[in-house]
Amino acid sequence: MGEALALQAVEKGIEIVAHDPKAEPGPATSILPADSIRSLVDQLPTPRVVFVSVPQGDPTQQVVHALSEAMVAGDVIIEGGNSHWQDSVRRFGELAQRGIHFLDCGTSGGVSGARHGACFMVGGTDEAFSIVEPILGALATPEGLLHVGSTGSGHFVKLIHNMIEFGMVQSIGEGVELLDSSEYELDLVSLFHNWNHGSVIRGWLVELMEQGFKDYGDLSSVQPCVEDTGEQVWGVQYAMDNHVPIPMLAQAVWGFYQSRDRTQEWEKTVSVLRHLYGGHPLGQT
């Protein structure tokens, strides 16, 4: 995701310095490499703006801590991963003691969105948002940038976005299960193409499912296990803590777990969709 955002940025005239300790040599670009976080910070003009795109949890904590040691008051850290919103509130407080701005930025649109125009939902102060608005605005799809509210709100609404996403993907998967069990010889590529032209359920996920059937045929080569990143549990826990009934969304989460030892078509469908929109690992036999 971070690489795709960086490539989009340089195409739009934004000077990018990037650090990725796991990066492998690739085609030459105008992205300036940094061999350490300190080197990255030292190459940036002030006020420095750093977009963090690493897995939530310890990797994010380690990167944010290293940045806090290298940056100064007035600089901005944009945390664009899927962190728990309460972790973002904590990081904001810690960085505020140093005068460093922190924005929690829910980022959606998959790898394709990052490359060509993403959706950003940002939590944090007005002052910090005003500094980064021109940059995020350039990287967002039209109407795709929103300052949601105070610190933590960006990552909170991204979590709810992801829960809705899981429910939608689960519904498509179960629909494919019904189609597969029918007596009819169905061309599912053509069917999903048809559904994406004027039907009530048209949309990007239906478009991706059409592509999935083109790429993987009847899905017989796809392992049914649905990879997940764990944050869906936070949504269920929040609902339980606040007595909010979410039967459909919770069932989608249980479906993730069910997929680990079963072989149904809906599980293969969900696995393919998550691979196509988010680059999540896809096992094939």
Residues in the chain: 285
**Domain endpoint, select from 150, 166, 198:** 150
Residues 135 and 163 in one domain: no
Do 21 and 45 reside in the same domain of the chain? Answer: yes
Same domain, 56 and 173: no
How far CA 285 is from CA of 41, 174, 268, in Å, comes to 44, 22, 12
Q: Enter the pTM of the model.
A: 0.88
Q: Is the same domain home to 112 and 136?
A: yes
What is the domain range of residue 177? 157-278
Q: Is residue 182 one of the residues assigned to a domain?
A: yes
Point out the domain boundary residue: 124, 150, 176: 150
Q: Tell me if 125 is assigned to some domain.
A: yes
160: nearest Cα among 105, 235, 103, 101: 235
Answer yes or no: do 38 and 106 share one domain: yes
Same-domain check for residues 170 and 86: no
Active-site option among 165, 174, 265, 267: 165
Do 95 and 67 have their domain in common?
yes
CATH number at residue 172: 1.10.1040.10
Domain boundary among 117, 150, 183: 150
Tokens, residue 187: 């061309």
Alpha-carbon span 251 to 232, nearest angstrom: 11
Domain CATH number, residue 39:
3.40.50.720
pLDDT for 232 equals 83
pLDDT attached to residue 37:
96
Report the alpha-carbon distance of residue 37 to residue 71 in Å, rounded. 10
Which residue among the candidates 158, 174, 210, 231 is catalytic per the annotation?
Answer: 158
Q: Could you give the strand order of the β-sheet that contains 101-108, starting from the edge strand earlier in sequence?
A: 49-52, 76-79, 101-108, 118-123, 140-149
pLDDT (tens, 9 = 90+) of the chain, 285 residues, equals: 889 999 999 999 999 999 998 766 556 678 999 999 999 999 999 999 999 999 999 999 999 999 999 999 999 999 999 999 999 999 999 999 999 999 999 999 989 999 999 999 999 999 999 999 999 999 999 999 999 999 999 999 999 999 999 899 989 999 999 999 999 999 999 999 999 999 999 999 999 999 999 999 988 888 766 666 678 889 999 999 999 999 999 988 887 777 665 566 767 887 788 788 877 776 544
Nearest in space to 83 (alpha carbons), one of 112, 52, 109: 52
Residue 284 lies in a domain: no
Beta strands in the chain (DSSP E): 17-18, 32-33, 49-52, 76-79, 101-108, 118-123, 140-149
Q: 142 with 7, same domain?
A: yes
pLDDT score at 26: 58
Looking at the fold, whether 48 and 70 belong to one and the same domain comes out as: yes
Tokens of 206: 């239906």
Provide the pairing of β-strand 101-108 with 118-123: antiparallel
Looking at the fold, whether 70 and 136 belong to one and the same domain comes out as yes
In a domain, 285, yes or no: no
* Co-location of 146 and 6 in the same domain: yes
Torsion of CA 165, 171, 174, 175, to 10 degrees: -130
Quick check: is 110 in a domain?
yes
89 is a domain residue: yes
Q: What is the pLDDT of residue 255?
A: 75
In a domain, 65, yes or no: yes
At 285 the pLDDT is 43
231 catalytic, yes or no?
no
Question: Does 15 share its domain with 131?
Answer: yes
pLDDT for the residue numbered 161: 96
Half-sphere exposure (Cβ direction) of 208: Cα atoms closer than 13 Å = 21
Q: Does the active-site annotation cover 11?
A: no
* 270 lies in some domain: yes
Q: Tally the domains of the chain.
A: 2
